[in-house]
Structure 1
Amino acid sequence: MTDCDSFSVSCAAWLSALADDLSSRGGEPPVDTGELVPSDTDAPPLTIPSSFAHSATVAPLAPALTDGLLCLTYRQLQGEVSDLSHALAPLVSAGDRVALQLPRSAEYVVLYLAVLSLGAVVVPLSPDLSAHETGGELLLCEPVLLLCEPRAPDARPGRRADATDRVGGTPAAAAPAVVYVPVRARADGALTELRIACGAVAVGCAPQRRVDPAAAAVLLATSGSYGLPKRVVLSHTALLASARAHRASLGLTGGHEVALAVVPLNFGYCNTVQLVGQFDSGGHLVLLDGDFLPSRFGRLVERHGVTSTLLVPAMLRLLTLGDWDRAYDLHSLRHIVYGGAATSQEILDRIEERLPGVELVETYGQTEAGPRVTTMRRRDRHDRPGSVGRALPGIEVSVRDEEFGVLPAGRSGEIAVRGPGVMTGYYDRPEESAQVLRDGWLRTGDLGRLDEDGFLYLRGRLRNIAIVSGMNVSLEEVEAALTAHPAVAEAVCAVRTDARAGETLVAWVRLAPDAHGACGRAPEAGAPDRQATVLKEVIGFCRDRLSAHKRPRRIEAVAEFPRTRTGKIDRSALHTLSRDSPAGSDVPARTCPKSRRQAVDD
């Protein structure tokens, strides 16, 4: 094999890491027969690039990635990654951060692997972020490069990437360079447009950069155990450990797994189990090419022999509708993993009736933990209702009191987690990192208890976090966006249970005096119309600053908030009423005394 073989992404550093891996496993690489040989779940820590290189060496002709009509073997995917690494090398140094703001696509996957191969750090950004949110993330993480779609909002940095932008490894400007990536522009059935966009016209060797397993690999977004959203630092070791622990928890020992990714690739689960985990074990990753529909789901399962997938509760509900399951051969599907919000037993039972050969696996976790913590198997679910399962192999779970002392089985307290998948810390947030990391343990901010057999039961949250459509939302972030409007003096956001989304957001605002009349007095004539106009302005303001899942469904103006004896807003009263009140109904007057209420729905 020549140094610049177009099918090789194995630079000298990768080959060295691979040799160390094979030596530690006590043997030479097997002869390529086209069969997949999985990585051992207890193999020593490697980097994600060397793990991927190992799988590509073992079975180069095995299917690796499918996105619509584009199907890449491990050899082909390796070649794409190598060429993109070569093209991006002049722009990216080891340790740099590179933001990916792309939808679920082969382009995202190839660039993800290419960035990691350069020793850089991937910063996944949701494609649904508003321009304001995107700007905030870029300021927080300071990436040297932003890879996004051409239709990115004009408010995003517009400086084109060029190799001359870097001198001596130092960025020429604080704003990131931008490469606009055409997604799924594949008239020739290949990633030609991606290559052209990144300047990968000529084939070349990727730079020889040795990657430290303990170095940061990904900065994942989180609403945080405490406080406003931030970025979680996960190392190569942590991501691989989480992926292997997941496989071990399901008893997966072979390398023939076909995973269907239907949620956005910036999700924590995709960055471990479905992306890192599949390429580590030599599996096949299939991407949903469009919105989630039961018919599209069934077609992909049948066509590619999908064995596992992750669904959020709203998707599970869709699978209970219609007769879609009768139109497809679904015998290959063995596991549907779900989590993020409570799912009724009725929905689970109806899916199991339709798909008797499929095991529904409930999980609990959080981004800071890598993200998987527990697994609830079908054999235990009916005997232990309400439990989210037991800890994954290699992960410890304990319940702590207010002084961080260990509580015995049956006692409720804060859930703490320890294991190789736990984050290094929050990016550029040492004080907040120290608040949640203690003696090797992660304080989750969740309340729960353990039974005598180690099964975990959740009991609520210490943090102000909602889960909307499977995504965590910081109530403090929403409140900060509301109060940024000049007409809003104070704001409170709360959670209301929703039959479709799981949880939705409602908000109350106390408007500034000039927005509705004199403070503390009933509004004058015409003031209600003025309030309605202001509330509509606030809703439009939120659309510009918050993603769709973060926006309150209903905003209500109040003259005053209920207060505690110390003068603080009594959140518990508002939260209780928001859970008990049906969506769209007015909040009872006792939550806002002396108030002439005005509410507007988004």
Structure 2
Amino acid sequence: MSSELLPPNWPAMSIAEANAALAAPGSPVQVEDTVIDGVPSKGYTNAPPNIHSILFLAAMTHPERDYIVYKDERVTYKAMLRAVEHFAATLRDKYGITKGDRVAVIMRNYPQWPVAFYAALSLGAIATPMNSWWTGEELEYGLSFAGVKAAVVDPQIFERIHEHLGDLPDLKHVIIAREPGDEHNHPSVSSMEDAIGPANSWADLADIGMPDVEIGPDDDATIMYTSGTTGKPKGALATHRAVIANMFNSLTCTARMYLRKGEAVPEPDPNVTRATLMSIPFFHATGSFAILIPTALRGDKIVTMYKWDASEALPIIERERITSIGGVPAIAWQVLEHPDRDKYDLSSIEVVSYGGAPSAPELVSTIKRRLPNAAPGNGWGMTETCATVTLNIGEDYVNRPTSAGAPPSAVELKICDPDGKEMPAGEVGELWCKSPSNCKLYWNRPDATAETFRNGWVVTGDLARLDEEGFLFLVDRAKDMLIRGGENIYSIEVESALYDHPAVMDAAVVGIPHKVLGEEVGAVVQLKPGMSVTEDELRAHVANQLAAFKVPVEIHFMDQPLPRNANGKILKKELREQFTPRG
């Protein structure tokens, strides 16, 4: 990246110096020694004790600010708190939900989603979000595996699960949001609106207080199912401490950006409200842990959509003065390259953040060029780390656009060989992560727990390297690495070369079975609107950057976005089916 984009005398501090300053006593993100699940670890001194206390504080501080906006439904912080109080009382008194019970939340990003989520947490129950894209059979698996006692669903989800209710003996109550439950004439089915009314009326509910339940940092909070691109999804069990720590990881990385510039970390301005346009589901760790809850910590606004559509997003950005957009890189590209982009005022955008997929270095310069007020950002995390571990933002991102950032002081990263031995800086191996945001275990999966959770470390399955300053560079998912004639090919490396072509918006590399070589490189790409390139031209472009054996032997073009699951991960299994075995 060109050095003229960096301020003079940058950086004013090294990563180690900035991390030490932020971890010191008196800092809002002070780090302390602690013990987590029997393992000596680092923790955040000033972290709130539990998740729902963040909502309570926000409602006391910013009662009339909008928290959730969906179409013509606007829910203030006070209204959200009142709805949570009343729904928690209903869960406790009518449905018998107590500490440790599992309460599923399965719906689109409606305002009722966070009500059910916070209400369950306030009772000490384990909130269990599930993928609203799952089929009835998949939902039956998720409900049964976690032993869910009550499920809060929208009407579309109910249509998928109602025929499975007889096979779910643990599921005693199904509560339908946004529709009367009594019309289904089933003894276990009821209506969420009967308890709290429609969203625009929540502000009128009486102040009955939060449940009187003692909930500490190390109490269980959530079961978040992994994306399950292969095999059955696993349920990652997180504590209140872990979910909150991911926010403090982010806060530290953001504050470090200012120290690296030689500036003081700015104090929050109580008169400024920022707004995020949600392009990912609340049921994903990023949606709930990295956006929903941190937004309450800041007293900001979230605007949700029925489903992501860039054409619908542009007028929302203008009308709601959206300051943050993002998700996966393809979503950022869709906004930047949309033919109607210049018809709308997008000057409010301050942050374009993304993760979950490799991104072209060109994306950074494109954001800077087309949204001059916006700071690009990338990061790394996973369900098992409760979302955010590292962030790469500001000048560090401009300087290292292919990095996912350096960890904060509370986090340790290391690169290990297949035997678990730590490798030196610069070498590629498997990424291990020790963070206060790590989950405890996989629910009812001691075998998988033993493989992934080792003495405070999460063995991630990501192939990566760390440079001398600790910046993380992801190379591939271990299972996505191709082996052609004994040579390792990292799909991200080939994808990055494809992204480097100015016509490419989205790209994925998969292995094509080969009788002799084992695998060859195949690629699927989506081009930017109005642009064209031939397969031979793209292959030549990659060949200018990479060795010949890494160049795709076949490239397929798609007019529509590449298939992704709800968490933003490309469904490579579907893409592999486009190719015929060779050799």
User: If the TM-score is normalised by the length of the shorter chain, which range does it land in?
Assistant: 0.5 to 0.7
> How far did 1:150 drift?
2.1
Alignment of 1:322-361 (within 5 A): 322-361=338-377
Which of 219, 228, 239 in structure 2 is aligned with 1:235? 239
Which of 118, 128, 133 in structure 1 is aligned with 2:133? 128
Answering whether residue 47 of structure 2 is matched by residue 51 of structure 1, we say no
Q: Aligned residue for 2:558?
A: none
Quick one: which amino acid aligns to residue 277 of structure 2? L
Answering whether residue 320 of structure 2 is matched by residue 304 of structure 1, we say yes
Answering whether residue 289 of structure 2 is matched by residue 265 of structure 1, we say no
Q: Aligned residue for 2:171?
A: 175
> How far did 1:226 drift?
9.9
Alignment of 1:189-588 (within 5 A): 194-196=192-194, 207-223=211-227, 228-251=232-255, 253-254=267-268, 256-287=273-304, 289-463=305-479, 497-500=523-526, 552-553=573-574, 584-588=578-582
| 1:160/1:179 contact within 8 Å kept | no
Answering whether residue 88 of structure 2 is matched by residue 62 of structure 1, we say no
Quick one: which amino acid aligns to residue 122 of structure 2? S
| 2:385/2:437 contact within 8 Å kept | yes
C-alpha spacing 1:414/1:347, structure 2 compared with 1 (3 Å) = same
- Deviations 1:353-388, CA, capped at 9 Å, x for gaps: 211111111112211111212222242344335322
| 2:247/2:289 contact within 8 Å kept | yes
Answering whether residue 73 of structure 2 is matched by residue 98 of structure 1, we say no
| 1:225/1:443 contact within 8 Å kept | no
> How far did 1:284 drift?
2.1
| 1:45/1:241 contact within 8 Å kept | no
Matches of 2:303 and 2:370 in 1, distance apart? 23
Alignment of 1:23-38 (within 5 A): none
Q: Aligned residue for 1:15?
A: none
> How far did 1:136 drift?
1.0
Matches of 2:524 and 2:169 in 1, distance apart? 46
> Taking CA–CA contacts closer than 8 Å with sequence separation of 6 or more, which of the two structures ends up with the larger relative contact order?
2
CA RMSD, aligned part only?
A: 3.8
Matches of 2:312 and 2:410 in 1, distance apart? 36
Single out whichever of 203-212 and 109-118 deviates more from structure 2: 203-212
Quick one: which amino acid aligns to residue 60 of structure 1? P
C-alpha spacing 1:310/1:318, structure 2 compared with 1 (3 Å) = closer
> How far did 1:420 drift?
0.8
| 1:414/1:445 contact within 8 Å kept | yes
> How far did 1:421 drift?
0.4
C-alpha spacing 1:152/1:258, structure 2 compared with 1 (3 Å) = closer
| 2:47/2:245 contact within 8 Å kept | no
Larger Rg: 1
- Deviations 1:113-146, CA, capped at 9 Å, x for gaps: 1111111111111111011111111121110011
| 2:47/2:244 contact within 8 Å kept | no
| 2:461/2:478 contact within 8 Å kept | yes
| 1:96/1:144 contact within 8 Å kept | yes
C-alpha spacing 1:382/1:348, structure 2 compared with 1 (3 Å) = closer
Matches of 1:402 and 1:159 in 2, distance apart? 42
* Structure 1 unmatched ranges of 5 or more: 1-23, 26-40, 162-171, 186-192, 476-491, 503-546, 555-577, 591-602
- Deviations 1:79-102, CA, capped at 9 Å, x for gaps: 111111112213211111011110
C-alpha spacing 1:388/1:207, structure 2 compared with 1 (3 Å) = closer
Quick one: which amino acid aligns to residue 399 of structure 1? I
Q: 3-state SS of the aligned residue for 1:391? A: coil
| 2:364/2:398 contact within 8 Å kept | no
TM-score scaled by length of structure 1: 0.66
Which of 38, 54, 74 in structure 2 is aligned with 1:71? 74
> How far did 1:398 drift?
1.2
| 1:335/1:359 contact within 8 Å kept | yes
Quick one: which amino acid aligns to residue 177 of structure 1? H
Q: 3-state SS of the aligned residue for 1:82? A: helix
| 2:390/2:406 contact within 8 Å kept | yes
- Deviations 1:409-450, CA, capped at 9 Å, x for gaps: 112221111111011111112232122222211111111111
| 2:86/2:195 contact within 8 Å kept | no
| 2:389/2:435 contact within 8 Å kept | no
Q: Aligned residue for 2:544?
A: none
| 2:361/2:401 contact within 8 Å kept | no
Quick one: which amino acid aligns to residue 302 of structure 2? L
> How far did 1:231 drift?
0.8
Q: 3-state SS of the aligned residue for 1:93? A: coil
Matches of 2:322 and 2:278 in 1, distance apart? 10
Quick one: which amino acid aligns to residue 282 of structure 1? G
Matches of 1:238 and 1:226 in 2, distance apart? 26
> How far did 1:112 drift?
1.1
Quick one: which amino acid aligns to residue 330 of structure 1? L
> How far did 1:460 drift?
2.1
Quick one: which amino acid aligns to residue 193 of structure 2? R
Alignment of 1:112-127 (within 5 A): 112-127=117-132
> How far did 1:495 drift?
9.6
Matches of 1:272 and 1:142 in 2, distance apart? 23
Q: 3-state SS of the aligned residue for 2:353? A: strand
Q: 3-state SS of the aligned residue for 1:105? A: coil
Q: 3-state SS of the aligned residue for 1:218? A: strand
Matches of 1:126 and 1:495 in 2, distance apart? 31
C-alpha spacing 1:78/1:376, structure 2 compared with 1 (3 Å) = same
> How far did 1:71 drift?
1.5
Matches of 1:224 and 1:323 in 2, distance apart? 35
Q: Aligned residue for 2:263?
A: none
Quick one: which amino acid aligns to residue 375 of structure 1? L
> How far did 1:103 drift?
0.3
> How far did 1:237 drift?
0.9
> How far did 1:233 drift?
0.9
| 1:319/1:351 contact within 8 Å kept | no
Matches of 1:498 and 1:350 in 2, distance apart? 22
Q: Aligned residue for 2:499?
A: none
Quick one: which amino acid aligns to residue 221 of structure 1? Y
Matches of 1:227 and 1:215 in 2, distance apart? 29
C-alpha spacing 1:150/1:451, structure 2 compared with 1 (3 Å) = same
Q: 3-state SS of the aligned residue for 1:390? A: coil
| 1:87/1:199 contact within 8 Å kept | no
**Identity percentage over the alignment?**
24
Matches of 1:419 and 1:585 in 2, distance apart? 40
Single out whichever of 329-338 and 458-467 deviates more from structure 2: 458-467
C-alpha spacing 1:195/1:155, structure 2 compared with 1 (3 Å) = closer
| 1:225/1:445 contact within 8 Å kept | no
Aligned length: 442
Matches of 1:499 and 1:434 in 2, distance apart? 38
Q: Aligned residue for 2:38?
A: none
> How far did 1:404 drift?
2.0
Matches of 1:134 and 1:493 in 2, distance apart? 35
